[in-house]
Amino acid sequence: MRGILAIVGGGASGLCAAVRAAESGRFSRVIVLERGPRVGRKLLATGNGRCNLTNRYASPENYRCRTGRHPEFVRPALEAFNVGRVLSFFESLGIVPLEEEDGKIYPRSLQAASVLDVLRFRAEELGVELCCDQEVTGIRPAAEGFVLLTAQGKLRAERVLLAAGGAASPKLGGTDSGCRLLEELGHSITPLLPSIVQLKTELTTIRPLTGIKVDGIVTLTGGDTPVSQTGEILFTDYGISGPPVMQVSCQATRLLEAGGKPVISLDLASEYTKEELFLLLKARAAARPEVLLENFLVGMFHKRVGQTALKAAGIAPLSRKAGSLAPNELNALVSQLKSWKLPVTGTMGLLNAQVTAGGAELSEFDPNTLESRLIPGLYACGEVLDIDGDCGGYNLQWAWSSAMLAIESMI
Ligand SMILES: Cc1cc2nc3c(=O)[nH]c(=O)nc-3n(C[C@H](O)[C@H](O)[C@H](O)COP(=O)(O)OP(=O)(O)OC[C@H]3O[C@@H](n4cnc5c(N)ncnc54)[C@H](O)[C@@H]3O)c2cc1C
């Protein structure tokens, strides 16, 4: 007899799983229990509302787990349900993919709402029961399946898929509720940390730059190997943000957690070597020796960035003239612009993070099926597992691939 599949969580992975399960015809009913008033709230906010739904180059190297290494755990899901299969699935629902820089793939409409809509439409068409405002507060193994507890009562299910996501961005529904449910069932949970998050840094040298955006290279040091990312950096009143900062933040979080001392180095003149920049600035000072230092870098850097860099390099007062710059001062200025050091003091936390690092301990799930090794019939997918991916569509790819693998192994 066909039984009931209960999916805990109506986010990216839960909705994808629901559609796949209903399409298979394996279950008598597919029920999604969602604690929020609507399904897919986080999905709507992805990619700045455009939904970077996958990345052409997704591979296990783009993912981390508690130990920080590329987890082999993701390989079976990513191989069985690779980017091509995920795109075919979404194309079958009506999404026309649009590839942008660095392999990032969006719906052609550039609306995250489209991705949520097509999943919802198909789920409804297939008779999936989407039950909102139904927080699952307990999962009890029972004869021939499970009993799920919600404020509305009890639900019996043959199989349970935990797709409850992570604790990042509570304003968008992020919660550790899924981890707590697993913990009650005897599963281990690795510490939940923010990933893809803004960084707090020492502010002494950058305080005047709040609100300014510049292009540059962000390098994080303090770990075994430095990691670098290029892109737009935003200076803020707590530190720095912007895509390259978010990219290296996962390593920074882990270093901080381990008691390390991560340092960010900003290269704001990456098109020049140090020697080239030195010669360029020297020639600039020689060409216009009467220019006040406060205006010396105008036209080459944002005015405030130039002035702040001069001060941070110990060059004062700015009412001096460019012609007075000594070679050691030019060297100090070059170092400031090419490797502006910002010790990392913290992160903006799970409250502001896009993704949760940590979660359900991977050794307690079979990577080939995503079934619990402790509780047969219980499966998990998406961010509730201790997997976090790089910024750029990789986290949603994991949500889709893991949801599809979990359902495939049930049918
Ligand atoms: C602002 C922002 C932008 C992002 N942009 C991108 C992007 O462009 N590309 C990308 O790849 N990733 C992006 N991410 C990350 C991506 O959204 C997540 O990795 C992905 O949504 C995880 O899917 P999931 O199904 O595991 O969890 P979620 O999508 O978070 O869904 C989990 C659902 O479970 C529900 N739930 C939790 N506990 C219970 C319970 N006990 N009972 C019932 N329901 C429960 C929650 O309310 C939630 O709806 C972004 C994240 C944020 C916050």
**What's the CA-to-centroid distance between 11 and ligand 1, angstroms?**
5
Provide the pLDDT confidence category of residue 143 given band limits of 50, 70 and 90: confident
**Percent of the chain clearing pLDDT 90 (strictly above):** 96
Q: Look at residue 67 and tell me whether its pLDDT is greater than 80.
A: no
* Helix 274-287 × helix 327-338 angle, to 10°: 130
Fold classified for 274-340? Helicase, Ruva Protein; domain 3 (1.10.8)
Q: Look at residue 58 and tell me whether its pLDDT is greater than 70.
A: yes
CATH number for region 4-193+355-410: 3.50.50.60
Fold classified for 195-268? Elongation Factor Tu (Ef-tu); domain 3 (2.40.30)
Q: Which residues of 132-142 are buried (b: 16+ CB within 10 A; e: fewer)?
A: eebbbeebeee
Mean pLDDT value across residues 208-226 = 95
**Percent of the chain clearing pLDDT 70 (strictly above):** 100
Per-domain boundaries in the chain: 4-193+355-410, 195-268, 274-340
**What's the CA-to-centroid distance between 398 and ligand 1, angstroms?**
11
pLDDT tens across 72-99, in order?
A: 999 999 999 999 999 999 999 999 999 9
Which of 41, 115, 395, 397 to mutate to test ligand 1, by most ligand atoms within 8 A of the CB atom? 395
Provide the pLDDT confidence category of residue 124 given band limits of 50, 70 and 90: very high
pLDDT of amino acid 174: 97
43 lines ligand 1 (CB under 6 A): yes
Rounded CA-CA distance 375/63 in Å is 26
pLDDT tens across 353-389, in order?
A: 999 999 999 999 999 999 999 999 999 999 999 999 9
Nearest atom in ligand 1 to 48's CA: 3
pLDDT of amino acid 223: 84
| Closest CA to ligand 1's atom 9 | 393
Which of 46, 388, 402 to mutate to test ligand 1, by most ligand atoms within 8 A of the CB atom? 46
**What's the CA-to-centroid distance between 358 and ligand 1, angstroms?**
14
pLDDT of amino acid 1: 64
Mean pLDDT value across residues 23-38 = 97
pLDDT tens across 243-264, in order?
A: 999 999 999 999 999 999 999 9
Mean pLDDT for the chain overall:
96
Q: Look at residue 328 and tell me whether its pLDDT is greater than 80.
A: yes
Tokens for 404, please give them: 């599809």
Mean pLDDT value across residues 396-400 = 98
pLDDT of amino acid 66: 83
Nearest atom in ligand 1 to 52's CA: 8
Which pTM was predicted? 0.93
